[in-house]
Amino acid sequence: MKRMRAEVEIELDELKVEYAKLAVTHRKGERLRSRIVKASSELHIVKASEILCDPITPKKVMSVDYKMYRDIGKDNYRRLSKWYNERYWGKGVMSSAQYNADTGQTIVSVSMDQNQPLDEQMGIIDFIPHILPSEIDGFPKGKLINVFSEDDFFYIIVVARNDIQLWGHKNKEPYCMSAFKSYRKTLEHVHLYYPSRVKDD
């Protein structure tokens, strides 16, 4: 049975009013969500500032959760970059743009220069105790350290106290290239075969 025009118009007006109420609620919700995101970001920066108070240490650095510089604020990022440059420039360690979502830590990198003695490039040992074990991308569970090499990307994985492995990719699949019983032996191998800077002729 066909409804009367007046009946349909009344229903349409009611629907429009209801829709307008929902639209207002939605806009308020969006504004509230935006404020929550902004406050959460600000809180993250404040927490990073508290963690990175002087003196900065490898333990503190590995306690800061950030993917990009804006996550901890430009000032904190500048302080962190300055700290890396002053303390670990030329000591075999560099900050990495890689982020380990499994642990919430950035992945520190080993960067070996064959023109410098190995003993001066053992800085990564300061960080290893504070790296959280993870299990990602087909690699075994362990403390993941990036190897910044001239040729390719590799990973040192500290599987256990006396089990340190060097992993790479073959046919896009991860595989264990070498295993060592000490950090020194591992870094010697990287210094010799996978440096970021090869010895000048």
Break the chain into its structural domains and give their ranges: 1-89, 92-201
The long-range contacts involving 75-83, CB below 8 angstroms and separated by at least 24 positions, are 75/49, 76/45, 76/48, 76/49, 76/52, 79/52, 80/52, 80/56, 83/56
Cα Rg, the chain, nearest whole Å: 26
In this prediction, residue 3 carries a pLDDT of 67
Cα–Cα distance, 95 to 129 (Å, whole number): 16
Reduced to 3 states, what is the DSSP secondary structure of residue 81? helix
Distances (CA, A) of 112 to 14, 62, 92: 72, 21, 5
One-letter amino acid for residue 100 of the chain: N
In this prediction, residue 187 carries a pLDDT of 96
In this prediction, residue 201 carries a pLDDT of 63
What are φ and ψ of residue 54, in 5° steps?
-70, 140
Cα–Cα distance, 38 to 165 (Å, whole number): 42
Q: Please tell me whether the peptide bond between 55 and the residue prior to it is cis, using omega within 30 degrees of 0.
A: yes
Low-confidence ranges of the chain (pLDDT < 50): none
Residue 196 near residue 112 (C-beta atoms within 8 A): yes
Cα–Cα distance, 82 to 158 (Å, whole number): 28
In this prediction, residue 72 carries a pLDDT of 93
In this prediction, residue 194 carries a pLDDT of 92
Could you tell me the two tokens for 73?
A: 């604020």
Beta bridge partners of 166: 156, 178
In this prediction, residue 15 carries a pLDDT of 85
- Please choose, from the candidates 85, 95, 40, the residue with its C-alpha nearest in 3D space to the C-alpha of residue 62: 95
In this prediction, residue 64 carries a pLDDT of 92
In this prediction, residue 34 carries a pLDDT of 86
In this prediction, residue 12 carries a pLDDT of 82
- Determine the Cα angle at 190 with ends 198 and 201, to 5°: 15
Residue 110 near residue 93 (C-beta atoms within 8 A): yes
How many other CB atoms sit within 10 Å of the CB of residue 64?
Answer: 21
Note the pTM of the prediction, 2 decimals. Answer: 0.81
Could you tell me the two tokens for 26?
A: 């939605």
